[in-house]
Structure 1
Amino acid sequence: MNNISPERPYNNQKIRDIFGELSIDKRRLPSSGLTSIGVPSFVAEWLLDKIVPGEGELTPQEHEKVNRFVQKAFPRKDDREEIKFDLKTGQTKTIIALMQVRVKFGKGGEEITEPFARIPTLGFDSCMISTDLINENRMLLRQGIWGKITLSIPSNNKIEVFDFDPFQCSLLDRNAYANFRAQFSNVEEWKDLLFCSMGYNPEHPSYTPEAKTWMLARLIPLVERNYHVMELAPKGTGKSFVFENINSKVAVLSGGKVTRAQLFINGRTKEIGALGRHDVLVLDEVQSLTIDNPDEFIGPLKTYLANGSYNVSSFSDQPITSDCSLVMLANIELTSQLQPRNPNHLVANLPRFFSETALLDRICGIIPGWKIPKFQQAMIASQVGLKMDFFGEALLALRSDPRFEAYAKQHTNFDSKTVNVRDEKSIIKSASGLLKLLYPHLELTPTEYQEHCLKPAVELRQYIRNSLYHLDDEFRRYGQKIICT
């Protein structure tokens, strides 16, 4: 059941008129069942618009058409041997999956072998692939790309990627995206479009303006380089949902053990870790995170959080640089009043190294997930929003635009008695990120900047300050409250 605000109803037709084929009825995806089989939203929405374009929930006939396509094109792990047999008997197979390309060092450690393609869902790790296909799709060498993969076995008896058709959105022009925004005079109307595009129902009464602000703050790591943030929330608020579905340049590592090889570099294979391959890396369930040899892990992590590079001497004397944003998600317990049990030390129940002030101070802010309602079925978007593939690429395209940071610096005044250098840097990055999200055309008043960008940016950092103030006398000389205008 939709609860439409009488003051500002969601205008589906306006979205269709402005964005055309870049928009989609968000009811299509939940009714398709594609995400339940592990297809991320940015791939699923692209496919739906190609296979069964239309509006509303899928009809039984459309659903059957999608099912036939999925059974034919999307391999499962237990299809591995059958596909190998078909290839061995001379057939050509076309599948839709994520593919990556890796280049190994030879046994001597200096000679570089021929590149090879990996298709993780099938466990294929050494497929031949031409350099032409790699040069046409360079992101294969990083986090990989979803696309249509054509496989065959030529005379050399090895599986080969014969052809590759990547899934890509049709528009990445920042100026065009800014022009789209200029057609929305009301920032709340634009917020609702972003909210719907994330997959949430902007008309649900539980999504208050404040809740929407903090849910939209989850997107800041996509638009800001090296933006490191935590979100602390009770279970069930959907912390990782948007990260798992928005773009292949965003990776999620869930709970358990995280190794130095996973994050930084694999000392045996010399493969760059996740921080060097992705634009955004999400560590989920960090309350249960365990690390072997914490000293060897936390040192490079602190260095990376501070300056966007890390040095692993076993690989190279030169530091490895990256602009990957790091997001840390954790569950916390709340009181009966739905407030954190340790409001002045929010990371108290996380692994001990999060309470090390040298690490905590390098994190830009904490998203107050306890101010976000728990997810319910009625909170799924049912309006027209942006296709997830276009939406994700449009946000990532804003990362390299320096105008927003310059605007934030020009329109922010810090009280030097209450703010240190890291506070300033963090607040400016948060405010710049919110500017990119809400005002990509950079047309706003100083009052709008203060209300929609600077105020939440300060609050994000204030949660860090509260813990630092509690943990270390050094930070008490600034007082507990951050003051800036």
Structure 2
Amino acid sequence: MGNDEILSKGFKLLREPLINYVCEQLKDSYGSSWWMEGVLKVLPEEQIRNLPNSGEYADLVNSLDVGRGLLLLFLNWRNIFHDKVDQDGSGLVNGARDLSKDLYAIASKAANIGGVDFDDRETSRALDMMYQLCMCFDKDQAYQIDCLYKSVGEQKSSDDGYSQGAMNVISSMPRRDLEPGPAVSVDVNKLIDSFEGCIVRKDLTKKIKEGANVPIFVLEYLLGMYCSSQIESEIKEGIEIVKDKLAKLYIRPDEAERVKSNIREAGEGYAIIDKVTVSLDYKKDLYMASFLSLGLNNVPINSEMVVENPRLLSGGIWCIVTFDYSYIEGEPHINPFKITRLSPIQMPFVDVDDYIAQRKNFTKDEWITLMLRSTGIESNELPTRTRMLLLARMMPLVENNINLCELGPRSTGKSHIYKEISPSSILVSGGQASVASLFYNLSTRTPGLVCNWDVVAFDEVAEIKFKDKDAITIMKDYMASGSFSRGGEHLEGKASMVFVGNINESIDSLLLQASLFKPFPVGMNEDTAFLDRMHCYIPGWEIEPFSPKAFTNDYGFICDYLAEIARELRKIQFSSIIDDFFTLDSSLKERDVKAVKKIVSAMMKLIYPDGNVDKEGLRDILEFALEMRSRVKEQLKRIQPDGEFEGVMFAYTDNETGEKREVRVPECVELEGKQHHT
């Protein structure tokens, strides 16, 4: 029995309980005029041509087919059926409206498809929706539909599609272990010897962060200065010094005027903690400093301070700044604020070559553990697979123009990396997005976030809203090429784009009814041109919500050091390294190849920044990259099942042995197993 026959049986089973329910509710609401008010005046003209104008109740009911029944449920939802949800005896659920709409589209397609069969995925999705809708009216009929659902694919021959026998391909799927991976201990003395002054005990960060509204990278720099000892008494003494400095020197923006007054009254030697940015006033041949919290601009700064701290000129750094104040009567053009001392509390510079050279002192597992602890995560309680997924969140920090999506449950730290770890990353609320803020402001003629930040991350993707009609078009251009045009200007940016949000449904349900991009706003979640520009989809549902034991008390890199190293690693590329051992399948499209190579390059920087990787280590990274991109492609097939995204095999060939391996997406394989073997 073909899938078109299975679908036809399913719709026949659904028709009677659906039509009876719809007609009964319309009659209850409109009385004797139910046919005219609830049917003839509601259905579009082409749907009422063959319907009677009046008649006996039973005859009128029998004149309706399943397509009209679905359409009536959808069109009368607001006036009639919305109020029936959750009422005793009705059994109707909130999702019935969307189910009726989607099933009507499938029924129309089945009526006009001209004998062409549906594939297994389309058939299973349709039957699953029929089952859910029928459960509202008649459970016995619903169970019969469920039997049809379980029969899909049973008659298919074993050589359909890319079978292993026909293609001589080894199918590879990542292991989704639930048990913790091997416990890893990183020798503290080795860590201190390799990265002196660049590490900190992460539990100290937690203790002070809870009571201090200060960026974590500033806090950790101070802790690295005063608490790098392993002697507990010295650590306690260092903590008190850090707390004292923060209490006395850190200022909030609402305290700016009071602090300016204090500097004036003190006259000299007044110190604060603030973020300092410097620009060159070439007309005066002077460097001028601006202060974030204090709100001061155009304060002259000694050129030696700038030369010693070049990051002042590229985004600014947090510093302890000491001021004198001297107003000269009759010289109002001379700024009375004088910078007498400047001590960075972020890394003034980093030696990326030394960082790369030190990698050889650590095993792969030690290095991954160190990287995750640097973000505050204790990996020893986590499965090996989860460690890789958490590490992948850092890819946008080290790779230019990589587009990443992660959807999953709440409390898994999806946005933490982009909010707390790097001062070069910005987290944007979806409702605040605009073309002017993201790309280019026509009024001020200034570039937007993508030109000024390394990472632009959208939090809560379901809330993304653009007032500008051309916003998505510009975003597509940027995500594809790293450039865009606006107001006659052609601009480029290096910022990676990240989209994070929550999934509130089961993965199987999403795969059957829609796609894993469903949580995106309506319009975006079915825009295949936009979604195809997504290089990587991290399966956030595989990461358990964080508990207190998920956070480390061990040593890791100071966040600011790690962030600056990440910025330097953006200048290095490993895109072509896979060519040394492997060849990607020729069926992969250009965007697929680009995405896979970007992910490989990013993961190499995170795990093997020195490029010293063996064949099996690179194989692990390549298969991970193929899976992350394949997940995107699988959703595109579901959204647009017209064949455009078919015919692609996420596979590679071993250059030495000639062995070919296909990498499959775990949740899709598991769903197929449920469909064929339940």
Please classify the TM superposition score into its range, dividing by the shorter chain length: 0.7 to 0.9
Q: Distance in 1 between matches of 2:402 and 2:299?
A: 37
Instruction: State whether residues 127 and 159 of structure 1, in contact with CA within 8 Å, keep that contact through their aligned partners in structure 2.
Output: no
Q: Distance in 2 between matches of 1:332 and 1:141?
A: 41
| 1:182 matched residue in structure 2 | 360
- Describe the shift of the 1:292–1:102 C-alpha distance in structure 2 as closer, same or farther (beyond 3 A): farther
Q: Distance in 2 between matches of 1:463 and 1:20?
A: 41
> Amino acid of the residue matched to residue 281 of structure 1?
V
| 1:396 matched residue in structure 2 | 567
Q: Distance in 2 between matches of 1:473 and 1:382?
A: 49
When structure 1 is superposed on structure 2, of 370-379 and 150-159 the one drifting more is 150-159
1:40-439 paired onto structure 2 within 5 Å: 40-55=215-230, 62-89=238-265, 91-92=267-268, 93-100=270-277, 117-122=289-294, 124=295, 126-130=297-301, 132=303, 139-140=311-312, 143-151=315-323, 153-155=325-327, 156=332, 160=337, 162=339, 164-169=342-347, 172-184=350-362, 186-204=363-381, 207-295=382-470, 297-313=471-487, 317-335=488-506, 339=507, 341-343=509-511, 345-351=515-521, 352-402=523-573, 404-417=574-587, 419-439=588-608
Could you report, residue by residue, the CA deviation over 1:151-172 in whole angstroms, capped at 9, with x for unpaired residues? Answer: 4554338574625443443773
Q: Distance in 1 between matches of 2:317 and 2:561?
A: 15
SS at 2:377's partner residue?
coil
Shift, 1:80, TM fit: 1.9
Q: Percent identity?
A: 26
Q: Distance in 1 between matches of 2:618 and 2:489?
A: 40
Could you report, residue by residue, the CA deviation over 1:441-466 in whole angstroms, capped at 9, with x for unpaired residues? Answer: 22222122111x11111111112112
Could you report, residue by residue, the CA deviation over 1:312-350 in whole angstroms, capped at 9, with x for unpaired residues? Answer: 21xxx4411121111121111143xxx464136111121
Q: Distance in 2 between matches of 1:442 and 1:217?
A: 18
Shift, 1:422, TM fit: 0.2
Q: Distance in 2 between matches of 1:103 and 1:483?
A: 52
Shift, 1:46, TM fit: 0.9
Instruction: State whether residues 519 and 525 of structure 2, in contact with CA within 8 Å, keep that contact through their aligned partners in structure 1.
Output: no
| 2:638 matched residue in structure 1 | 470
SS at 2:575's partner residue?
helix
- Describe the shift of the 1:53–1:434 C-alpha distance in structure 2 as closer, same or farther (beyond 3 A): closer
- Describe the shift of the 1:39–1:475 C-alpha distance in structure 2 as closer, same or farther (beyond 3 A): farther
> Amino acid of the residue matched to residue 235 of structure 1?
R
Q: Distance in 2 between matches of 1:229 and 1:36?
A: 33
> Amino acid of the residue matched to residue 212 of structure 1?
R
Q: Distance in 2 between matches of 1:259 and 1:363?
A: 20
Q: Distance in 2 between matches of 1:260 and 1:397?
A: 28
Q: Distance in 2 between matches of 1:69 and 1:389?
A: 19
SS at 1:50's partner residue?
helix
Q: Distance in 1 between matches of 2:417 and 2:232?
A: 21
When structure 1 is superposed on structure 2, of 57-66 and 406-415 the one drifting more is 57-66
- Relative contact order, CA 8 A, sep 6+: which one is greater? 1
Q: Distance in 1 between matches of 2:386 and 2:323?
A: 47
Instruction: State whether residues 332 and 340 of structure 1, in contact with CA within 8 Å, keep that contact through their aligned partners in structure 2.
Output: no
| 1:22 matched residue in structure 2 | 198
| 1:107 matched residue in structure 2 | none
Q: Distance in 1 between matches of 2:311 and 2:185?
A: 40
Could you report, residue by residue, the CA deviation over 1:64-116 in whole angstroms, capped at 9, with x for unpaired residues? Answer: 43332111111023322211222343535322122345799xxxxxx99x997
SS at 2:440's partner residue?
coil
Instruction: State whether residues 28 and 57 of structure 1, in contact with CA within 8 Å, keep that contact through their aligned partners in structure 2.
Output: no
Which has the larger Rg? 2
> Amino acid of the residue matched to residue 202 of structure 1?
S
Instruction: Say yes or no: does 1:11 pair with 2:180.
Output: no
SS at 1:319's partner residue?
strand
Shift, 1:308, TM fit: 1.0
Instruction: State whether residues 409 and 428 of structure 1, in contact with CA within 8 Å, keep that contact through their aligned partners in structure 2.
Output: no
Instruction: State whether residues 10 and 203 of structure 1, in contact with CA within 8 Å, keep that contact through their aligned partners in structure 2.
Output: no
> Amino acid of the residue matched to residue 276 of structure 2?
M
TM-score (structure 1 length as normaliser): 0.85
TM-score (structure 2 length as normaliser): 0.62
| 1:483 matched residue in structure 2 | 651
Instruction: State whether residues 144 and 248 of structure 1, in contact with CA within 8 Å, keep that contact through their aligned partners in structure 2.
Output: no
Instruction: State whether residues 218 and 346 of structure 2, in contact with CA within 8 Å, keep that contact through their aligned partners in structure 1.
Output: no
Shift, 1:21, TM fit: 2.8
Q: Distance in 2 between matches of 1:100 and 1:261?
A: 23
Alignment size in residue pairs: 462
| 1:108 matched residue in structure 2 | none
SS at 2:412's partner residue?
coil
Shift, 1:134, TM fit: 6.1
When structure 1 is superposed on structure 2, of 360-369 and 18-27 the one drifting more is 18-27
SS at 1:89's partner residue?
helix
Instruction: Structure 2 unaligned segments of length 5 or more: list them.
Output: 1-178, 654-678
Q: Distance in 2 between matches of 1:312 and 1:141?
A: 27
> Amino acid of the residue matched to residue 347 of structure 2?
C
- Describe the shift of the 1:482–1:281 C-alpha distance in structure 2 as closer, same or farther (beyond 3 A): same
Instruction: State whether residues 403 and 535 of structure 2, in contact with CA within 8 Å, keep that contact through their aligned partners in structure 1.
Output: yes
> Amino acid of the residue matched to residue 97 of structure 1?
D
Which of 449, 457, 464 does residue 625 from structure 2 map onto? 457
- Describe the shift of the 1:443–1:161 C-alpha distance in structure 2 as closer, same or farther (beyond 3 A): same
Q: Distance in 2 between matches of 1:375 and 1:57?
A: 28
> Amino acid of the residue matched to residue 302 of structure 1?
K
SS at 1:230's partner residue?
strand
Shift, 1:36, TM fit: 4.8
SS at 1:149's partner residue?
strand
Shift, 1:55, TM fit: 3.8
> Amino acid of the residue matched to residue 571 of structure 2?
S
Q: Distance in 2 between matches of 1:300 and 1:363?
A: 15
Instruction: State whether residues 25 and 55 of structure 1, in contact with CA within 8 Å, keep that contact through their aligned partners in structure 2.
Output: no
Q: Distance in 2 between matches of 1:160 and 1:389?
A: 29
Superposed CA RMSD in Å reads 3.1
- Describe the shift of the 1:329–1:396 C-alpha distance in structure 2 as closer, same or farther (beyond 3 A): same
Instruction: Structure 1 unaligned segments of length 5 or more: list them.
Output: 105-110
SS at 1:328's partner residue?
strand
Shift, 1:282, TM fit: 1.6
